[in-house]
Chain A
């Protein structure tokens, strides 16, 4: 049973922490994380983050600035630092690593990025408010929460999208922005396999006009701007949607529960948790549960851990840099207080936190991460990290905890023969089995 414990912790979790035993009952351990979420993390509310962001805009605007821009910058930097450290600490020492993996999966599915700098202070609240409450809830609820969150409305430019025939559209020269509508169809829900057309993208964009937010005053949250909303009926995939905010939510739910969406989500989940080329049976099993449960993500997560393909063969997925660095931190028992070391590691290995390049999020297959120079940097980092964080860590204990029966004999032998403890830990972190999950 102990090999199953290691697989559970590595495949579905973030790797074992130095000194921890693998879960004795792996399935029960995973199930409990689905059915009994721990207390949600704390952090600044959306309103607080928006207010801070608004203050900073006001202090830095060229005309009639209000407030001290240095002070607002500092306050923002503190907030982002605290959010970043909190994120890393939950993964480094938190009690529910599988749940964090689910959060990370759905965060990446509904990507927002710091590359749109002004949304950065909102990312923590986006995770806490739009993603985390729904990772074992209903997919359509998550899709709606995401589309209403200012972080997404900023990232995919919907906040300023204006219906051409709306009151604001007729008054100004501004108009429709298709960005959110297109990505909602292509990335968030049905994918191009769903067979939508450019016309559908535009119709959905019109449906979503007016979906914006208020940051300069109450409610410091989502706000439907009727004056920007395109009047009249729209036709999306052959369905008619009337004007108004409620029709927008209806459209999102319609897309989120489309058969092509179940298929798309099943493939992504299987690719993430099972293999780069997901086995068709695994995809089919997940697709069936998603369809039959109407997108119940708790049922889907239960189906995921029940997939035989997820347990055998083990270690079929290459750990992308962030998860690799987190796993290394856990393997060497890095305490919360040193979480910033890991953040540097993310940057060094080219996966800076919350900074994917495109709305499609971080790539999820080895071919995108295991490039020659990337591997060289990875072992450089492993060597440097083993020097900094490996003090007092016994390599034999570390490999036993981190890999247990999944460690290959040649790795253990090379570690035993290594010229120093630091070299031995580098061999552990640089071994192919540690680089996989």
Chain B
């Protein structure tokens, strides 16, 4: 077979999936003194479609929120179905209960008003930039380039690739010179509810397929084409199963140390309150499953959850939000110095908004990622720079990781 290295997803022997027994690429082995090399775990979860940071982490203490977000504002902490408090100014969406538990245990930090260096509101361009880590699109991802410098413990036939792409595709984030393993369960993946609604809308005008498609949606638990909220255990558990499996693989002594995952369905232009619930719960369950799968190794793990940009500060005409700029990121894991919201809050007043429409970003996502490479993976300065070329002016954010 001459298939691409990542094309073998159905192989049942897990060793093969992880790249065991394949030709072994030995990166420059740098041993940091004082610690077993390469023991730390880093997971990056890409939320594709632009998570609405202002909705999921609401700055309920900001007086301008009501005016901008009235219809998408959730009750304040303590009220029925209210936000989960994050220390007095910000509140977390109640669908993220597990994440809130981790926050309370000082294992999760929330980073607000963050964005990459790009200001394009195109999903595709922004995702490419977010993943490649450059100021223009590069052919490889920053996480793959970081792998080049990752110190490894033993080497030999029982050692997996250091990097692992979890899911059907290998995201740009993980592509590049260093071979990575891939894990994906057999069978089909299902589009997120938001994408299903879009597909259904395309069928509407077509007489042959419209009714059959609508019927198929109904039998899968999509209550209505415009309003429905999806309560579907299978959707919800798919990401969690994947995350749990990734956690177990990474917990093994010879297992991968760095993994990338992706979760779509965040492009909530319409009926955001309902349609965000599926992905939100999947994310929350997934973080829980990842922690469980990692077991004791959770203590040495950091999970970065990022999205390509935030969404408009104002609600649009369809009870949704459109493409914006500043948004939110999460940093989760036993190694994380959590229990806090890290934000240089710009405020939501009209004169404070970016281009009078979006949350003004005050923190460069690259500063966060560089902080993780430096303080968590303990990569040397040069390697951090190679992961994010052209980012010398972006100061590494310190203190994200417990000393």
Within residues 388 to 432 of chain A, which ones have a CB less than 8 A from any CB in chain B?
388, 390-391, 395, 410-411, 414, 417-424, 426-427, 430-432
Check A418 against B169 for contact (C-beta < 8 Å): no
Q: Is B7 an interface residue (CB 8 A)?
A: yes
Q: Are A379 and B9 in contact (CB under 8 A)?
A: no
Nearest opposing residue in chain B for A339, CB measure: B3
Contacts of A418 in B (CB 8 A): 123, 195, 198, 267
Q: Contacts A419-B48, A423-B191 known; A370 to B212 CB distance under 8 Å? A: yes
Chain B interface extent, by class: 35 or more
Contact A431 B202 (CB under 8 A): yes
- Point out the residues of chain A lying under 8 angstroms from B201, CB to CB: 410, 414
Q: Could you say which of B149-157, B213-221, B338-346 contacts chain A?
A: B213-221
Contact between B2 and A379, CB atoms less than 8 A apart: no
The reply on B36 being an interface residue by CB < 8 A is no
**Cα(A340)–Cα(B124), bound, Å:** 29
Contacts of B264 in A (CB 8 A): 419-420, 422-423
Q: B269 → chain A, closest Cβ, in Å?
A: 7
Q: Any chain B CB within 8 A of the CB of A358?
A: no
Question: CB-CB contacts of B119-133 with A at 8 A, as 1s and 0s?
Answer: 000011001000000
Instruction: Say yes or no: A375-B202 contact (C-beta < 8 A), given A388-B168, A420-B49, A423-B48.
Output: no
* B125: min CB distance to chain A, Å: 10
Scoring A residues 365 to 378 as 1 if CB is less than 8 Å from chain B, else 0, what string do you get?
Answer: 01000111111110
Q: Does A183 sit within 8 A of B, measured CB to CB? A: no
Chain A interface size, under 10 / 10 to 19 / 20 to 34 / 35 or more: 35 or more
**A318, A380, A423: which contacts B190 (Cβ < 8 A)?**
A380
Alpha-carbon gap, A381 to B199, bound state (A): 13
A384/B267 in contact, CB under 8 A: no
Residues of B contacting A193 with CB < 8 Å? none
Name the residue on B nearest A337 (C-beta). Answer: B2
**Pair B123/A388 contact, Cβ less than 8 Å:** no
B212: A residues at CB distance < 8 A = 370-372, 375
B136 to chain A, nearest CB (A): 16
A417 to B322, CA, bound (A): 10
Task: Assess whether A341 is interfacial by the CB under 8 Å rule.
Answer: yes
Q: Write the chain A residue with the least CB distance to B211.
A: A372
Q: Are B123 and A341 in contact (CB under 8 A)?
A: no
Is A420 within 8 A of B7, CB to CB?
Answer: no
Choose one: B1, B124, B199, B217; the contact of A420 (CB below 8 Å): B124
A430 x B199 contact (CB < 8 A)? yes
**CB-defined contacts of B123 to chain A, threshold 8 Å:** 418-420
Q: Cβ of A2 < 8 Å from any Cβ of B?
A: no
Q: Is the CB of A427 within 8 A of B198?
A: yes
Tell me, rounded to whole Å, the shortest Cβ–Cβ distance linking B376 to chain A: 27
Question: With A and B bound together, what is the CA distance between A430 and B195 in angstroms?
Answer: 10
- A385 CB to closest chain B CB (Å) equals 9
Q: How far is the CA of A434 from the CA of B205 in the complex (A)?
A: 14
Whether, in the assembled complex, B361 has its beta carbon less than 8 Å from a beta carbon of chain A, the answer is no
Once bound together, how far apart are the Cα atoms of A340 and B11, in whole Å? 13
A262: Cβ under 8 A from any B Cβ: no
Contacting A at CB under 8 A, from B1-22, are 1-4, 7, 9-10
Q: Which of A374, A419, A431, A435 contacts B267 (CB 8 A)?
A: A419
Q: How far is it, in angstroms, between the C-alpha of A340 and the C-alpha of B1 when the chains are bound?
A: 10
How far apart are the CA atoms of A372 and B209 in the complex, in Å? 9
User: Would you call B190 and A427 a contact (CB within 8 A)?
Assistant: no
**Would you call B241 an interface residue if the criterion is a C-beta within 8 Å of the partner chain's C-beta atoms?**
no
Judged by DSSP, the binding face of B is loop
Are B49 and A387 interface neighbours, CB within 8 A? no
Q: Would you call A348 an interface residue if the criterion is a C-beta within 8 Å of the partner chain's C-beta atoms?
A: yes
Bound-complex Cα distance A341 to B2 (A): 13
For residue A346, which residues in chain B have a CB less than 8 angstroms away from its CB? none
B170 in the interface, Cβ–Cβ < 8 Å? yes
Contacts of A381 in B (CB 8 A): 188
Partner of B191, one of A348, A379, A388: A379
CB of A384 within 8 A of CB of B202, answer: no
Q: Which residues of A contact B54 (CB under 8 A)?
A: none
Chain A residue contacts of B1, Cβ below 8 A: 337, 340
Complex contacts, A426 vs chain B, CB 8 Å: 191, 195, 199
Q: Is there contact, CB below 8 Å, between A375 and B189?
A: no
A365 to chain B: closest CB distance in Å?
10
Complex Cα spacing A392 to B324, Å: 25
Contact of B215 among A344, A372, A420, A432 (CB under 8 A): A372
CB–CB A419/B195 < 8 A: yes
- Check B65 for interface membership: any CB of A closer than 8 A: no
In chain B, positions 153-194 with a C-beta closer than 8 Å to chain A are: 167-170, 188-191, 194
Chain B residues near A12 (CB, 8 Å)?
A: none
Q: Report the Cα distance A427→B267, complex, angstroms.
A: 14
For the complex, what is the distance from the CA of A366 to the CA of B2, rounded to whole Å? 36
Q: Provide the bound-state CA to CA distance between A388 and B169, in Å.
A: 5
Q: Give the residue name and chain of the A residue nearest to B124 (CB).
A: A421
Inter-subunit contact A432/B48 (CB<8 Å):
no
- B 348-368 contacts with A by CB, 8 A: none
Q: Quick one: given A375-B216, A377-B188, are A423 and B209 in contact (CB under 8 Å)?
A: no
Contacts A372-B215, A375-B216; A422 near B169 (Cβ below 8 A) = yes
Tell me the A residues contacting B by CB distance below 8 Å. 318, 337-338, 340-341, 344, 348, 366, 370-377, 379-381, 383-384, 387-388, 390-391, 395, 410-411, 414, 417-424, 426-427, 430-432, 435
Given A395-B124, A418-B198, A420-B48: 9 more A-B contacts, CB < 8 Å:
A318-B209, A340-B3, A344-B10, A375-B216, A379-B191, A383-B190, A411-B202, A419-B265, A427-B195
* 11 pairs of residues in contact across A and B, judged by CB atoms under 8 Å: A340-B1, A376-B217, A383-B188, A383-B195, A390-B169, A419-B50, A419-B194, A419-B266, A422-B169, A426-B191, A430-B199
